[in-house]
Copies of this chain bind each other. A is one copy, B any other.
Amino acid sequence: MINYVTAGESHGPQLTGILTGIPAGLTLDIAAINAGLAARQGGFGRGNRQQIEHDTVTVTGGLRHGVTLGSPIALTIQNRDHAHWHAIMNPTSPATADNTLRQVTRPRPGHADLVGGMKYGHRDLRNVLERSSARETAMRVAIGQICKQLLAQLGIDLVGYVQQIGQIQVDSQASLSVAELTQAIAQNDLRITDNAQVADIHDLITATKKAGDTLGGVIRVVATNVPAGLGSYTNWDTKLDGQLAAAVMGVNAMKGVEIGDGFAAAASYGSQVMDEIDWDAENGWSRLTNHLGGFEGGMTNGMPIIIKAAMKPIPTLYKPLQSVDIQTKAIQKASVERSDTTAIVPASIVVESVVAIELARAITATFDGSKLSRLQAMVQAYRAELQAY
């Protein structure tokens, strides 16, 4: 079964990830992983650091001649900015007056700073923010894009994109295929489906930046051709929609998750939101609609999985918020650490990535994920069995 863990500080030497449970025999497309990393760095509304970093992944374990071995995959992404932080963020050289500059003592509201300092006992809150920073999501993207490549070998496609920035909503183009959506969002720097709205959103971001303020938004992920029956209704912790909610809420800055119609379903009549069941001899079972976003009873039902995530605005403002210095206890303005106006565009590929991980995990938790061709054969046999039900 797939699992993963990451390590590394934002301005430390590198990010490290270990991904276990990927079947042997998968040819990794490293360029595609790097394209995912580039997508995470792009998007209108980001600050200057992304011009320093040009993330690429290096694989140091679990891969030979471009093909997975079945053993754990070790990944690293260098922090190019570390060159400027070599002394301050040095892992091993002892602390001195020179290398402990740039301390953070005024915790930023909306970040992990204050609580992280309390929990771990740090007096320089840099020790918190270096890890709580969304920089870590670069590794989740690398891992998620590997999982996406695995899913593709099983006929499962997915994409994450932006559906709302601030108060501007964009048509989700729910009728498009994943391939069509992927193509549509590549036409602009906002990962949205409607080029006609690009100018308005650019204006919003620019005006917000000028005002020293920030924006959040809503992300939508669609995954298609997922076989029915992943997850289980039999206990509280086997429901796959719950696991997906955890993964999405676990992405930095996410404050809401919806499956299918989500909160809108709560305001609808039952007759409006149930997906009636259909069957034909050629294609087997289907639904006439997809209000439930591909889930019934905590299990995939064969319809496209639809997940939405609400991202709060970037907490760091150029017109900073009230904070309190942890040393002096004086009320002061919070530290300012970075400068994106909105991170909704990169976040959309992060959320896509964590959804890919959970789906790949659910597949490999169900079928033998040791060897790609065996996994493919088992999933194919399973799909045939479902169709014949």
Per assembly, the copies of the chain total 4
Query: How many chain A residues have a CB neighbour from B under 8 Å?
Result: 166
A373 to B257, CA, bound (A): 37
A381, B118: Cα distance in complex, Å: 13
Q: Quick check: A312 and B265 within 8 Å, CB to CB?
A: yes
State A95–B385 Cα separation when bound (angstroms).
25
A186 at the interface (CB under 8 A from B): no
Q: CA A228 – CA B120 in complex, angstroms?
A: 12
- A131 touching B71 in the complex, CB below 8 Å, given contacts A232-B119, A255-B292: yes
- Of the candidates A113, A270, A276, the one having the most CB atoms from chain B within 10 angstroms of its own CB is A270
Residues of B within 8 A of A272 (CB): 313
Which of the residues B63, B266, B317, B319 comes within 8 Å of A216, measured between beta carbons?
A: B266
> Contacting A94 at CB < 8 Å: which of B66, B255, B270?
B66
Contact of A292 among B73, B312, B389 (CB under 8 A): B312
Which chain B residue shows the least CB distance to A330?
Answer: B279
A295 to chain B, nearest CB (A): 8
User: C-beta contact mask, A193-226 vs B, less than 8 Å → 1, else 0?
Assistant: 0000000000000001000011111100000000
B-contact 0/1 string along A268-280, CB 8 Å cutoff: 1111111111110
List residues of A (305-335) whose CB comes within 8 Å of B's CBs: 310-317, 319, 321-324, 326, 329, 331, 334
> Would you mind naming 10 contact pairs between A and B with Cβ atoms under 8 Å apart?
A3-B5, A13-B60, A66-B94, A112-B233, A132-B233, A241-B250, A255-B261, A255-B263, A263-B263, A367-B367
